[in-house]
């Protein structure tokens, strides 16, 4: 079954993509949750027209995402965490903390677009994160977990 995505769906596709999914997934999850609509001939035609009109705006958004990616790649973030006697931290570092630290550096990024490569982080050290800013633009950055 073909679906036109209304929102980004992790591990499936980005907004305005036409994807092939199993009917049960589409009818029981994607459509009721508002993540997509059924791709019929008429909706595909209307969708193509909307994409054509929106293409120049999309280029501008992509350029802005590339600028933010350059800023992110040049930044090293330090996150303080409480550490026990054996060098392990209490709790773990998550994307919310990364987003807050990036915001403190003057880079506003949605926490849902951030991914931590070596999850879960339970020890002090240097790690890698990825910011998916646009479907064609992503930035890799380093962050360091230090003892607070």
Per-residue pLDDT of the chain (148 residues; tens, 9 = 90+): 999 999 988 889 888 899 999 999 999 999 999 999 999 999 999 999 888 888 778 888 888 888 888 888 878 888 888 888 877 888 888 888 888 888 888 888 888 888 888 877 888 888 888 888 887 888 888 888 888 7
* pLDDT score, position 123: 84
| Best CATH choice for the domain 69-147 from the list 3.10.430.100, 3.40.190.10, 1.10.630.10, 3.50.50.60 | 3.10.430.100
CA 98 to centroid of chain Cα atoms: 13
CATH 3.40.5.10 maps onto the chain at: 2-60
* pLDDT score, position 138: 85
* pLDDT score, position 71: 83
CATH 3.10.430.100 maps onto the chain at: 69-147
Class of domain 2-60: alpha beta
Q: Identify the sign of the CA torsion 120, 80, 134, 47.
A: positive
58 three-class SS: helix
Q: Identify the sign of the CA torsion 88, 89, 94, 98.
A: negative
* pLDDT score, position 78: 87
CA distances from 66 to 54, 92, 94, 119 (A): 19, 30, 24, 26
* pLDDT score, position 15: 86
82 CB-near residues (< 8 Å, 6+ apart): 89, 90, 91, 148
The label of the residue with tokens 């600028």 reads 67
């Amino acid at each position: 079954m073909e679906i036109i995505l209304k929102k980004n769906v992790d591990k499936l596709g980005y907004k305005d993509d036409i994807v092939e999914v199993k009917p049960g997934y589409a009818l029981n999850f994607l459509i009721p949750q508002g993540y997509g609509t059924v791709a019929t001939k008429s909706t595909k035609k209307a969708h193509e027209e909307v994409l054509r009109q929106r293409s120049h705006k999309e280029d501008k958004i992509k350029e802005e995402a590339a600028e933010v990616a350059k800023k992110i790649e040049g930044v090293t973030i330090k996150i303080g965490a409480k550490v026990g006697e054996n060098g392990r931290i209490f709790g773990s570092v998550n994307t919310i903390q990364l987003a807050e630290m990036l915001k403190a550096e003057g880079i506003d990024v949605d926490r849902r677009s951030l991914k931590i490569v070596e999850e879960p982080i339970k020890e002090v050290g240097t790690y890698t994160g990825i910011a998916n800013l646009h479907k064609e633009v992503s930035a890799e950055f380093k962050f360091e977990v230090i003892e607070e």
